[in-house]
Amino acid sequence: MWGKREQVILWAAAYLPLILIMVYRFIDSKDYFKKTEWATWFAKYLDKTVFDILIMAVIILISLVIYRLVAVWLFSDYDRQLKTKQLGKNVSVRKYERLSVNDYSFFLMTLLVPLVSIDQASAVNLMVTLAIIVIVIAIYVKTDSISVCPVFFLSGRQVFKAITSDQSKEAEAANPSARKDVIIITREKSLNLNYRFRTVNLIGNIYYLVSNSKDDDADDE
């Protein structure tokens, strides 16, 4: 299972683009580098708007690379151990659906509000905003709310709300509590309800899921 460290790293990575953009805006509003030789050279050949767009593109590219690296670091061992059955258990997925946009609304609000409503030219505003981000990350970590972290889908993984079971359908009919409402993180873009999968608990009701080997694919009726 994950601890708090993995969650902090996830959310720090998620807010990295916002932090880098705010820091760039703060630096750009000052005269720290504008009179340097390289800044003067850039000014001759690049319009300020074009330069800003290039910086934003670089920030986004760096962030996407970091998202991928974080995902590889977090999941590569799980991928290997689940596929070789060193870890986890077999389950069937009875029903699943994607998270709704509303599930991401709080994250989107904390991402967009500082960009459109706060003047990053002020050192005080920058420090206050960074402090708020730290508090928000602490809240996410405290409540184990990793399912809405954008690092997952921006690194090629899907997040689903699902009902799973490690029992047969007959056993479930006799004991409905065998079915669990969970959140699934997986590389699979869709899940075949006739197959069984391998899962491991990450934290709370959140599980990482991989496709099972072919000989274990068929679901028990």
Q: What is the pTM of this model?
A: 0.85
| DSSP category for residue 212 | P
Q: Taking 80 as the threshold, does the pLDDT of residue 22 lie above it?
A: yes
Q: What is the mean pLDDT of residues 23-37?
A: 78
Give the whole-angstrom CA distance, residue 7 versus residue 2. 8
Nearest to 100 by CA among 55, 147, 68, 67: 147
Contact 133, 110 (CB under 8 A): yes
**pLDDT value for 112:** 86
Q: Taking 90 as the threshold, does the pLDDT of residue 65 lie above it?
A: yes
Helix runs in the chain, H state only: 4-14, 16-29, 37-45, 48-83, 105-117, 123-142, 169-174
pLDDT digits (tens, 9 = 90+) for 71-123: 999 999 999 999 999 999 999 999 999 998 888 888 989 888 888 877 878 88
Place of tokens 């659906």: 97
**pLDDT value for 218:** 56
Q: Taking 80 as the threshold, does the pLDDT of residue 215 lie above it?
A: no
pLDDT digits (tens, 9 = 90+) for 146-161: 999 999 989 999 999 9
Give the whole-angstrom CA distance, residue 96 versus residue 193. 9
Nearest to 184 by CA among 150, 145, 142, 147: 147
Average pLDDT, the chain: 89
Contact 198, 83 (CB under 8 A): yes
> What DSSP string runs through 26-59?
HHHHSSSSTTSHHHHHHHHHS-HHHHHHHHHHHH
Q: Taking 90 as the threshold, does the pLDDT of residue 70 lie above it?
A: yes
